[in-house]
Amino acid sequence: MMTKTNPAAYPTTEAALRVQLAACYRLVAHFGMDDLIYNHISARVPGPAHHFLINPYGLLFSEVTASSLVKIDLDGNRVDDTDAEVNQAGFVIHSAIHAGRPDALCVLHTHSDAGTAIAAMPNGLAPLSQFAMRYQGHTAFHDYEGVALETGERERLVRDLGPHHTLVLRNHGILTVGRTIPEAFILMYYFEKAAKVQLLAQGGLALGEALVLPQPEVSALAARQFTEFSGDILPPGTREWPAFLRMLERTQPDYRL
């Protein structure tokens, strides 16, 4: 259960999970990474049943509350007594990752402007900024197959993600996975910042100029430093999460309802 000492820990009850996941929806909207009523963040419900929570089709991320989240199984069946619909594309993508990666307790998918632009570039994020370093060697790619409505795509999504925490969906968007909700969120947050920096840097080049890149061994070192947390055992996002919650409590505390 979330505690005062570690509000970023993965909740042990569905009630606490609903609150934490609703907070994540509001944060994605607050930082401008949402796409109207589309995109999804899902989280596995504690317990032996392989159920997960996802947003109802039709709500903006800024409208999502703890009680509005829908519980479904890996076949897309609603477990809750609700008439709320779930987007088929969201079910296909999220059920694939939850089933294929047991450590992916939270799956976050966006169509953010900068992230989607990077998804159209052959090599994704370049090591142009410190923001981008944590993704070096930890990012996978999945080729575009049309709108994700066919369940047959699930196997290929899992195959392409492999052991990585970030999946670039070519010509589509970005997906991050986390052992906690804060981890999935912070990975998406910094991917977006790194993407914006890359687009600004590329757009600011004069004719004939080249971008400055660190030596490959330096990029590899920085990636290891982010991965190993410099000896810190806390998952990414843990330290930032209490500050995010304080902001939500001040500005939109109804996410808890």
Could you tell me the domains of the chain? 14-203+211-242 (3.40.225.10)
The pLDDT of residue 242 is 95
- Here the tokens at position 180 are 């906690």
The pLDDT of residue 3 is 44
Distance CA 98, CA 91 (A): 10
pTM, whole model, 2 decimals?
0.91
Which residues of the chain are modeled with pLDDT < 70?
A: 1-5, 89, 148-150, 206-208, 229-232
| Gyration radius of the chain over CA positions | 18
Distance CA 111, CA 188 (A): 11
Instruction: Answer whether 227's CB lies under 8 Å from 141's CB.
Output: no
- Here the tokens at position 181 are 């909700």
The pLDDT of residue 174 is 96
Residue among 245, 194, 251 nearest 16 (CA)? 245
